[in-house]
Amino acid sequence: MTVASHDIARRREVALVDLLDRLLAGGVVIGGDITLSIADVDLVYVSLRALITSVEGIR
Amino acid sequence: MAELLWTYGVVPAGLGAPAIAGIEDTPVTAVCDGELCALAGSVPAARFSRAELERALEDMDTLAALARAHDRVLEAALEAGDVVPFPLCTIFESAEAIEAMLAARHDALSAALARVHGMSEWGVKAFVRPRETVPAGRPSSGAEYLARRQADRDRATVDAEQVEFAAARAHAELAEHARAAVMSRLQDKRLSRRDAEMVLNGAYLVPREDAAAFAARVDALDERISELALELTGPWPPYRFVAEAHP
């Protein structure tokens, strides 16, 4: 690891919205020969709704 | 009790699993096939079944805890070397199922690992910077009032074009200094928790040794482009640059 990557270690607490923006943008995947599948759930919608509710709750 | 395997992402063999607690505070292990290893951890099948997950993800605290734990493991993996992050809730039935996935997706995963080698992701969001408004006196007539209204509207249209152009210019300049760049969907005002309108939600794949230079470039752009306020986040695992390698 370089010195620079230490110096530029996360500048601030990661905002949940930025994290979910990355983790949910592609939807949810359950792969392989698995019996579970929630691919048909519009998780982005579900999550954003939950997120909006929580943010409004904080205000 | 039946267990499932929550999978965080894929690293090159030899790096091993980071010594950090993952989802549900369980240890992370490496499940390998050839030169590829998936980082995985056991989760109870009872609570990570489809129905339970669907319900759990509706709860913001649960979703946040899963997202934070997922990210924590991937961040540790990034600190140790290269990682291809998987989306939240990538769950397999068994180690054998993961091995089969690694074999089936070998070429795409190897290509993604090569592409993100030595890189991390930086996010840059741009918001419209509010302009100082010149207080106008009371209009002397109805006609003047209407003329002012029209002038405000015209200015708003020009401003919107200027801002769009400024955002495109910022993205283009940052992309030029990154190995790859993507523009993501803009965050809703209610989510960004900012009064200002978001006009750019970009992600940039940057060599780790260039991180400081990239951050300085963002600061310089923020100074130079008066229409926009830029916000840098990162370093992130390369979430936005590996979608085609996902299982």
Interface confidence, given as ipTM, is 0.81
Considering only CB atoms, which chain A residues are within 8 Å of B190? 52, 55-56
CB atoms closer than 10 angstroms to residue A46: 17
- Please state the rounded mean pLDDT for residues A16-27: 72
- Please state the rounded mean pLDDT for residues B42-49: 88
Q: Please give the pLDDT value at position B130.
A: 75
pTM: 0.80
Is B148's pLDDT higher than 50? yes
Element (H, E) at A57: helix A43-58
Cα–Cα distance for residue pair B39/B75, rounded to 1 Å:
12
Q: Is B46 on the interface with A (CB under 8 A)?
A: no
**Residue A30, SS3 per DSSP:** coil
Chain B, nearest residue to A38 by Cα: B50
Q: Binning pLDDT at 50, 70 and 90, where does residue B230 land?
A: very high
Q: Please give the pLDDT value at position B158.
A: 60
Is A12's pLDDT higher than 50? no
Chain A, nearest residue to B190 by Cα: A52
Is B74's pLDDT higher than 90? yes
pLDDT digits (tens, 9 = 90+) for B54-68: 777 777 778 889 989
pLDDT digits (tens, 9 = 90+) for B24-39: 999 999 999 999 999 9
Is B46's pLDDT higher than 50? yes
Of the partner residues B98, B101, B191, the one whose CB lies closest to the CB of residue A52: B191
- Please state the rounded mean pLDDT for residues B140-163: 79
pLDDT digits (tens, 9 = 90+) for A31-54: 333 222 233 333 444 444 555 444
- Please state the rounded mean pLDDT for residues B95-118: 94
At residue B61's C-alpha, the angle toward residues B240 and B67, to 5°, is: 20
Burial B66-93 (b: 16+ CB within 10 A, else e): bbebbbbbbbbbbbebbbbbbbbbbbbb
How far does B226 lie from chain A, in Å, by closest CA? 23
Nearest alpha carbon to residue B164 among B126, B215, B137, B132? B126
Across the interface, whether the CB atoms of B67 and A23 are under 8 A apart is answered yes
Q: Give the residue extent of every domain in chain A.
A: 3-58
